[in-house]
Amino acid sequence: MLCKNLLHSLNQWLMEIQEIDRETALSGLLDQIPERIKKISEKRDSFLTDTVLLGEIPSPTYGEDERIRAVVDRFRENGLSAPNIDEFGNASAHLPGTEGQSSILVMAHADSVFSREVRHEIQVGSGHMSGPGIADNALGLAAMIALPRLLDDLGIRLRDDLILVANSRSLGRANLEGASGFLETMSLPARAGICVEGSTLGRLSYSGLGTLRGEITLQVPSDYDWKRFGASGAISHVTGLINQIREIPIPKEPKTQLVFGGLRCGSSFNTSPKQGTLRFEITSEDDDIIGQMEDQLNEICEQFSAETGTLVSMEVVAKRQNCSIPFTHPLVKTTRSIMQEAGITPKVDPSTGDLNALILSGLPAVTLGLTTVENLREINETVQLDPLYAGMTQLVSLIQAIDQGICDS
């Protein structure tokens, strides 16, 4: 009994020492932040250039090849180990650590919501840059690529290997295919992961929100009886369908949301369209609620189809489970401390992006945003440069904190 108590006390003592070590290491790291913001602002040209050069290569989801090749070229030029494009279309490379016992994964998605037909031209002003997809996610991609040179410029040698990944097939229908594929085949054990997004400074995501994205297609069949009571074209029917969907009760707790994100129907002034497509997304903190709402949507589609003589089908294009690491996890706590020291106000924002894939794979991970952004996902998407240097500093400092074991649970 005495021996057990002694062991318990020894263990507690060791944990306290470990905690003190961690706090001392973190404090040392936080002290360097103001100086780092200045240094990073002086070294900005390289990552601003990559933001422009990569941002001007169109990279719609499933069409990222050219941008991914440019990323691999940069990995090579920066002297990284094992630059590679995998079977999922992701580009990855390693910066070997001094010990290499473990690794830190930094990921930025390479795809954009803008199609190839959009003119991908980035404009550069004194204090801002703008153009389609610059914030989401040319800037995140360029920041990830810049890390080895920035670490070197700041005199930081990591013990862990740094694994850099530009992941393809993240957005929309792709359902995180690239990130999930990479994690499935990743050989090195990772200590933690960071997803990098251009938007928005202060973003702190440590949970992935349960999500279902779907597309409902309504077709007026060729043998449709236009004389029947209530007969109409696809637009009226889709409107009726939307009204029925809006009758589905949406709970406030657990937090749940249904968003209609797109509607395509018709092409002229005077012809009733025969087909309409409705895109929607359900997000909820409870996976069961998502499941129940999916069932309800299927029932509505079926009933609507039978009652109106139209053909209604629903396709689920992406589905993600809820996942999270605790708010008190050292990775989250450390990120908050770094943000505060860098003058960034943390804003907790559950992710529906690549973070889900990382956390579901068992990796403690967060998503960070790099700067303030205007007109997100518009042609004139604009990123401000002044806040960017604090955003880059938080990223570099968090990597160093992970490397020093400050973020281990």
Binding site residues, other proteins, CB under 8 A: 45-46, 48-49, 52-53, 56, 77, 121-126
Find the shortest distance in angstroms from Cβ 129 to other proteins.
8
Compare residues 52 and 150 and give the one whose CB is closer to other proteins: 52
* Per-position b or e across 251-280, b if 16+ CB within 10 A of its CB: eeeeebebeeeeeebeeeeeeebbbbbbbb
Compare residues 109 and 128 and give the one whose CB is closer to other proteins: 128
3-state DSSP call for residue 164?
Answer: strand
Find the shortest distance in angstroms from Cβ 376 to other proteins.
21
Find the shortest distance in angstroms from Cβ 402 to other proteins.
28
Compute the distance between CA of residue 201 and CA of residue 37 in angstroms, rounded to an integer.
14
Compare residues 46 and 296 and give the one whose CB is closer to other proteins: 46
Find the shortest distance in angstroms from Cβ 71 to other proteins.
16
Q: How far apart, in Å, are the Cα atoms of 280 and each of 36, 135, 194, 318?
A: 43, 23, 28, 11
348: which 2 tokens? 């907790």
Find the shortest distance in angstroms from Cβ 404 to other proteins.
30
Find the shortest distance in angstroms from Cβ 52 to other proteins.
6
Compute the distance between CA of residue 367 and CA of residue 196 in angstroms, rounded to an integer.
6
Compare residues 66 and 77 and give the one whose CB is closer to other proteins: 77
- CA 181-183-189 angle, to 5 degrees, is 155
Contact call for residues 26 and 92 (beta carbons, < 8 A): no
Compute the distance between CA of residue 132 and CA of residue 69 in angstroms, rounded to an integer.
20
Compare residues 116 and 228 and give the one whose CB is closer to other proteins: 116
The kind and range of the H/E element at 212 are: strand 210-219
Compare residues 55 and 210 and give the one whose CB is closer to other proteins: 55
* Nearest by Cα to 35 from 154, 145, 129: 154
Compare residues 54 and 342 and give the one whose CB is closer to other proteins: 54
Compute the distance between CA of residue 160 and CA of residue 223 in angstroms, rounded to an integer.
66
Compare residues 122 and 297 and give the one whose CB is closer to other proteins: 122
Query: In this structure, what are the phi and psi dihedrals at residue 245, rounded to the nearest 5 degrees?
Result: -65, -35
Find the shortest distance in angstroms from Cβ 377 to other proteins.
22
* Nearest by Cα to 367 from 68, 122, 167: 167
3-state DSSP call for residue 355?
Answer: helix
Find the shortest distance in angstroms from Cβ 73 to other proteins.
10
Contact call for residues 106 and 193 (beta carbons, < 8 A): yes
